[in-house]
Structure 1
């Protein structure tokens, strides 16, 4: 997969966008390779957390590569299904960290917002250029922006097409951490290690429960059964957590 680098180190999967000369714009081939990466992350029980990065200093991703046309369904390829644009939505069951630098525009901004944790280099510029460029296609990025940013801040970005700097994104709660570009990879890895130190099955159950009821009224969510959490009660990791607590030692998770 030349335009996508996929590696596994320990329990951490690394997915790297690798078209820096095209500002990591996603073409149909990249889209298919990303889908293969998400499928492997979901399938492989040894993968507990994933990091999405991009090659080059200029851009994380500027969205779909319009120069390469559309996929066979006649719609732009984007994100291997992670954004739900151009096909069925792919739900990543493992935590995803996006390490973002340079331009994160349009669909690239949306791809970052699909992550559970965002670490941004100080050089990052988030943007929704659709209205400014006069090109309006899919609007998934706008739906996500209005949910992840304060209402008027998101509307300002959407209506003007102006960009947001990393420091402002941090202040608005869009990103978890801002670091210097040279520290971006290390910061993302540090987040991955912190997540991997927890029970992987508990993390996956918690993510599923939170996202499945995100838009439900609180009283309904509180009264809802969560099958992944109930199933976790019968796992080896649940018992290991209890033993480790009683024995005052660090748990040894097995993901079972």
Structure 2
């Protein structure tokens, strides 16, 4: 396992598993609440995900009790900010990576922690999961994109109730609402997310990134402009080495050898 930074007890751990970069928040003593140094390390990790050609998919995880409970309020009171300029809360919510990112959640994902999960492309959660935006109970609003992304993931009435009451979603309910891709036994979220990431990583990298871009862009409704973007992306892919490789591999009945170009 490799880590960002030289601290004896780093707050963000990085591990490469084949084509998958696993990014783990490591502040269990505060239920993985995000302070400024942790946010900056996370931003560096997501930059690495995009820039490192040896990894194709990312997994963001926490610990057995909590994915993240949001901002470290003690650090905020001391003048720190969990926001990274240009990247948002936790170095993620304003500018997610181009490559797919999967959240692996055990236990609590609350406030900014839930907003980070919503900024991921897929969520794998254990049955211990508790998801919520409690900001209204503290006189605040969820200002890291949660109120904007939640209605694209949930029915309007459910999103509105969560936003106005601060209530949490738990257990089977998150699966029934299709908020998570998989609901697994406690302790299995990370391994299940890595397995899902490995399935994605087998596909052509440029095609995966283009597909992610279009699905996210279409979340607010298909437009003529977006159709133009789709056609432009497809035209680029048709001239890539990977599309030729995909066709050749199909004809030769062998696994493709993607180059990401």
User: TM-score, normalization: structure 1?
Assistant: 0.89
Aligned to 2:196: 191
**Aligned counterpart for 1:58 among listed residues 60, 65, 68:** 65
Q: Secondary structure at the match of 2:22?
A: strand
Structure 2 unaligned segments of length 5 or more: list them: none
**Aligned counterpart for 1:116 among listed residues 107, 121, 126:** 121
Q: 1:140 to 1:88 in 2, by over 3 A?
A: closer
Residue 18 (structure 2) pairs with residue 10 (structure 1): yes
Aligned to 1:153: 158
* Offset from partner CA, 1:200-234 (integer Å, 9 cap, x none): 12101211233234335345433445544322222
Structure 2 counterparts to residues 238-249 of structure 1, below 5 A: 238-249=243-254
Q: 1:105 to 1:87 in 2, by over 3 A?
A: closer
Q: 1:20 to 1:80 in 2, by over 3 A?
A: farther
Provide the aligned length of Structure 1 versus Structure 2.
253
Residue 227 (structure 2) pairs with residue 222 (structure 1): yes
User: TM-score, normalization: structure 2?
Assistant: 0.88
Aligned to 1:251: 256
- Distance, in Å, in 1 between the alignment partners of 2:84 and 2:151 is 20
Structure 2 counterparts to residues 146-185 of structure 1, below 5 A: 146-185=151-190
Residue 39 (structure 2) pairs with residue 34 (structure 1): no
Deviates more, 1:216-225 or 1:139-148: 216-225
Residue 204 (structure 2) pairs with residue 236 (structure 1): no
Give how far 1:137 is off.
Answer: 6.3
- Distance, in Å, in 1 between the alignment partners of 2:60 and 2:120 is 8
Q: 1:178 to 1:245 in 2, by over 3 A?
A: same
Aligned to 1:106: 111
**Aligned counterpart for 1:127 among listed residues 132, 149, 174:** 132
Root mean square deviation, CA, Å: 2.5
